[in-house]
Amino acid sequence: MLSTSIMALVLALTLAFTAMLFWRRQKRENQPQDVPPETSSQEIFSDTGSTGDLTMQNRAHKHHDGHHRGRGKKGKCRPVSLTNSPDRQVIPRDHHPVSRREISDNALKVLHRLTSNGFDAYLVGGCIRDIYFDLHPKDFDVATNATPEQVRRLFRNSRVIGRRFKLVHVLFGREMIEVATFRASHDNNATSQEHGRDKSHHSDSGRILRDNVYGSMEDDALRRDFTVNALYYDARDFTVVDFCNGVQDIEDEVLRLIGDPVTRYHEDPVRMLRALRFKAKLDFTIDPETADPIFELGHLLRDIPAARMFDEILKLLQSGKGVRTFELLQEYGLLKHLFSATSHCLEAGDDYCEELIYSALRSTDKRIVKDRPVTPAFLFAALLWGPLQRQFRDLQEQGIPPVPAMQQAAMIVLDNQCAHTAIPKRFTMTIRDIWDMQYRLERRQPKQIDGLLAHPKFRAAYDFLVLREESGEQLDNAGQWWTDIQDGNEQGRNEMIRSLRNQPGGNGRKRRRRRQPRKRSPQNRNPES
């Protein structure tokens, strides 16, 4: 009897232990594709390697971050080559400023999952460049030798996007980590790989229409645009790998294309815009061999899809350096390929057009620096105001009344711009509202005041009106009037509206009452009855 009880107890314990193991395994498999919970990303990717000696770690971090923090872009980060290759420079942790504390935890998790599954994975591009300048990176990009399909299988919280350039977006709430497979030169496609048009394809002008030829890390470095963007951070040993002398160009503050600039611009004309954007952001000098072809090849931007061009314009003018970027677009002759009608107005010296644009750009830059929201609609309304006024005057000369002329002019100007820049409908509608309300805000008709104040786009239209006055347009002090009526109480508002009625043309004259027709008596209405 005792032995039977012991056997039953042993069996029960065995079943309980087996159930516990099965539960733990299921729990581990059902967790988000992430670093295992018992090991934090800081422990896995500690800058000093071992996690056992915390004292040594803290001491090392204090030394490293104390050496690089506050250094700015003037500091020296001499590459130390740890290999025999003259092109590949491996920079150890104590010779570069990249620390895991500057890197998103989610980016570290992506790196860990890829490397723990046997793949190579590196942080690359603008995030590493920005850390070198003590800037806080907004986006983190990962380069790997895993194909998009393999990455997708590793991360349930991911999706494959793009046909021209396949990428994987790994989603962590609102944060997105972009993962790209190492790219190779298209020459390799012709000689050693059988890929076909679904992997790579060029247009007649040389623009890359599809770029899904995969290669090695070295190939990938040579396929990137600028040397300062071809730095790879290896979270396994905390080194930075430099194939294109990018660290030296960071020290020299030089922006240089990788490869032949003419060929690279033909492959992707947007690189010309990126060159100007980085020059404005980093205050770099563009290498002459990189800069000179821009003046001759700007027309290639006309071949860029309109939807992509809209995104690139936002990156240019909503980066916090919009004023400087706009100056560079004019200096290098690219503005006429982005905003041809606006460029014509500036060349013709149209009144207030240039000052209005720069006022809008300065306002946008200030809001971005203060981390306040901005809308592309306001900026596009300013950029296209000059062409709108030209079209508006032409239509009025044809005898079209002001309100229909403004609406028709807005349609023409926006349609012409959207042919090259696909402005989404939600923004074009706001642009139309801002423009349409300008005429009514200037007139200040008493019966329209309350309706204008209640309009959903009143604030944007009012700000635009004030900006026009600040730019030198003579609007009979309309901007200040609308400022006062917003600041006043109800009694003050009513008094301001009454004063408008007493002004000439202010609808102060009473309307004549229409006389009702005199009713006829029934006998007079039908005398024959």
Dist. CA 520–CA 310, nearest whole Å:
69
Which of the following is catalytic: 141, 220, 268, 287? Answer: 141
Dist. CA 180–CA 142, nearest whole Å:
6
In sequence order, what are the residues at sequence separation of 6 or more whose Cβ sits closer than 8 angstroms to the Cβ of residue 190? Answer: none
How would you class 426 by CB atoms within 10 Å of its CB: exposed for 0-12, middle for 13-18, buried for 19 or more? Answer: exposed
Whether the Cβ atoms of residue 200 and residue 164 lie closer than 8 Å to each other: no
- Look up 219 and say whether it is catalytic: no
Token pair recorded at residue 225:
């645009």
Three-class secondary structure of residue 171 per DSSP: strand
The distance of Cα 194 from the centroid of its chain, to the nearest Å, equals: 36
Identify the residue whose tokens are 């900026």.
379
- Look up 450 and say whether it is catalytic: no
Backbone angles phi, psi at 34, to 5 degrees: -155, 180
Strand partners, 89: 242
Radius of gyration of the chain (CA): 32
Closest to 170 measured CA to CA, from 126, 220, 105, 219? 105
Dist. CA 172–CA 28, nearest whole Å:
18
Dist. CA 206–CA 219, nearest whole Å:
20
Identify the residue whose tokens are 């309300």.
437
For Cα atoms 235, 241, 242, give the angle at the middle one, nearest 5 degrees.
155
Q: Say what the pLDDT of residue 335 is.
A: 97
Whether the Cβ atoms of residue 277 and residue 315 lie closer than 8 Å to each other: yes
In sequence order, what are the residues at sequence separation of 6 or more whose Cβ sits closer than 8 angstroms to the Cβ of residue 492? Answer: 484, 485
Single-letter amino acid code for the residue at 102: E
Q: Give domain 41-181+216-252's CATH superfamily.
A: Beta Polymerase, domain 2 (3.30.460.10)
DSSP character at residue 206: S
Helices (H), ranges, 233-287: 246-252, 261-267, 270-282
Q: Say what the pLDDT of residue 63 is.
A: 36
The distance of Cα 491 from the centroid of its chain, to the nearest Å, equals: 46
Closest to 127 measured CA to CA, from 152, 148, 97? 97
Q: Say what the pLDDT of residue 65 is.
A: 40
Token pair recorded at residue 380:
């596009």
Which of the following is catalytic: 225, 249, 287, 433? Answer: 225
Q: Say what the pLDDT of residue 355 is.
A: 94
Whether the Cβ atoms of residue 322 and residue 365 lie closer than 8 Å to each other: yes
Going from the first residue of the chain to its last (529 residues), give the mean pLDDT of each consecutive group of 10, the final group possibly shorter. 68 72 54 40 45 34 38 42 58 93 95 97 95 90 95 95 87 95 69 45 47 84 94 96 94 95 95 97 95 96 94 96 97 97 92 92 95 94 96 94 94 96 96 94 87 92 93 86 84 81 57 56 50
Question: What number of CA atoms fall less than 13 Å from residue 84's CA on the CB side?
Answer: 0
Please count the other Cβ atoms lying within 10 Å of the Cβ belonging to residue 314: 15
Q: 308-500 adopts what CATH topology? A: cca-adding enzyme, domain 2 (1.10.3090)
Residues forming CATH 3.30.460.10 domain(s) in the chain = 41-181+216-252
For the whole prediction, is pTM greater than 0.85?
no
Three-class secondary structure of residue 218 per DSSP: helix
**DSSP labels, 80-102:** ---SS-SS-EEE-GGGS---GGG
Strand partners, 158: 170
Residues in the chain: 529
In sequence order, what are the residues at sequence separation of 6 or more whose Cβ sits closer than 8 angstroms to the Cβ of residue 145? Answer: 119, 120, 181, 182, 214, 216, 217
Token pair recorded at residue 484:
């006062």
Whether the Cβ atoms of residue 321 and residue 315 lie closer than 8 Å to each other: no
Residues forming CATH 1.10.3090.10 domain(s) in the chain = 308-500
Which of the following is catalytic: 65, 120, 139, 463? Answer: 139
Dist. CA 337–CA 232, nearest whole Å:
34
**DSSP labels, 46-66:** -TTS-SS-HHHHHHHHHHHHH
**Alpha-carbon torsion 193, 199, 205, 206, what sign?**
negative
Single-letter amino acid code for the residue at 26: Q
Identify the residue whose tokens are 């999706």.
159
Dist. CA 155–CA 398, nearest whole Å:
62
How would you class 491 by CB atoms within 10 Å of its CB: exposed for 0-12, middle for 13-18, buried for 19 or more? Answer: exposed
Closest to 104 measured CA to CA, from 31, 170, 28? 170
- Look up 225 and say whether it is catalytic: yes
Dist. CA 217–CA 146, nearest whole Å:
11
- What are the contacts of 162-170 at 24+ separation with CB within 8 A? 163/210, 164/208, 164/209, 164/210, 164/211, 165/210, 165/211, 165/212, 166/212, 170/106, 170/110
Please count the other Cβ atoms lying within 10 Å of the Cβ belonging to residue 497: 17
DSSP character at residue 147: -
